[in-house]
Structure 1
Amino acid sequence: MTTQQHSEKWQKRFDFFEKNGAPKTPEFKAALRRLPWYKRFLYNMNVISFFFGPIYFLILGMWKRCLTLIVCSVAIGFILGIVELITGLNLDSLCGLIVSVMWGITTNYAYYLHKVKGYNSWNPFTGIF
């Protein structure tokens, strides 16, 4: 599948994933270590998705993965809510951070699989863990 209609930012990400494989592979991790910290961050995290996760997934056309991540977000909130009730700790900020990071780290590779490989599955964590 061609990726020429995508921006230069996505082209670089797609090329990196094509060359080095999935984020969970040793080849990817080794290639990532050779990059400067800024590029490492950009290949591992999507800042737009960190702040606007569900909206950005829908804009990118990954509605199945979006629904799965919404369910995961609710489950994380529910579990941390129970822990908060038991311990009395305020975990709202922690919950928000965990959910935002989850959205941010899944976007780049999920979009690569969606657009380049044509995988349209419900699993947003494919190749990440």
Structure 2
Amino acid sequence: MKPKWRERFAFFGSHGHPGSPEYRQGLKNLTFAKRILISTNIIAFLFGPIYFFVLGLWKKNLSLLGIWVGVIVAVVALEVITGVTLPDPIPQAFGFGMAALYMSTANYAYYLQRTRGIQSWNPFEGMGKRAPSQ
């Protein structure tokens, strides 16, 4: 395992899931660069769906792709119903938002898969106040 993953896994192991107060407090004690390393994943931002499949997070990936397709269908339906075409920055913002979802969920999802064997469909598992279930 690469050193960056070992560092992320060690942080999650000692500070808990991203929704916990211990996690937030632990992040506050890190440098800016370490906070970015632990809480985000630039490769997932740039290549989200492909990267999730490479990591073996296919269930979470399909869930995120379903959300993405649902948003696209809703936007297209809104445009058809109203007869108004949205300006380009709005769909681009949706794409950026999806990339941000991949970026912010990748590290902890991979941690759950590798350390606890959790392969659920919920891409946001452990991101809220409740700990992930086995």
Aligned pairs for 1:51-90 within 5 A:
51-82=46-77, 86=82, 88-90=85-87
RMSD: 1.6
Q: Is the 8 A contact 1:54 1:66 kept in 2?
A: yes
Scaled by the length of structure 1, the TM-score of the pair is 0.88
- Inter-partner Cα distance in structure 2 for 1:29 and 1:78: 35
Distance in 2 (alpha carbons) for counterparts of 1:101 and 1:27: 23
2:122 is aligned with 1:120: no
Distance between the aligned counterparts of 1:96 and 1:80, measured in 2?
12
Q: Contact 2:4–2:37 at 8 Å: present in 1 too?
A: no
Name the larger-Rg structure: 2
Pairwise CA distance, 1:38 = 1.5
Note the C-alpha offset of 1:108: 0.2
Out of 3, 8, 24, the position equivalent to 1:8 is 3
In the comparison of the two structures, how many residue pairs are matched? 124
Corresponding residue for residue 50 of structure 1: 45
Extract unaligned runs of 5+ from structure 1. Answer: 1-5
Q: Give the gaps of 5 or more residues in structure 2.
A: 129-134
In 2, Cα distance between the equivalents of 1:15 and 1:78?
Answer: 40
TM superposition score normalised by structure 2:
0.85
Counterparts of 2:105 and 2:62, CA distance in 1: 13
CA contact (8 A) 1:49 1:104 kept: yes
CA contact (8 A) 1:76 1:99 kept: no
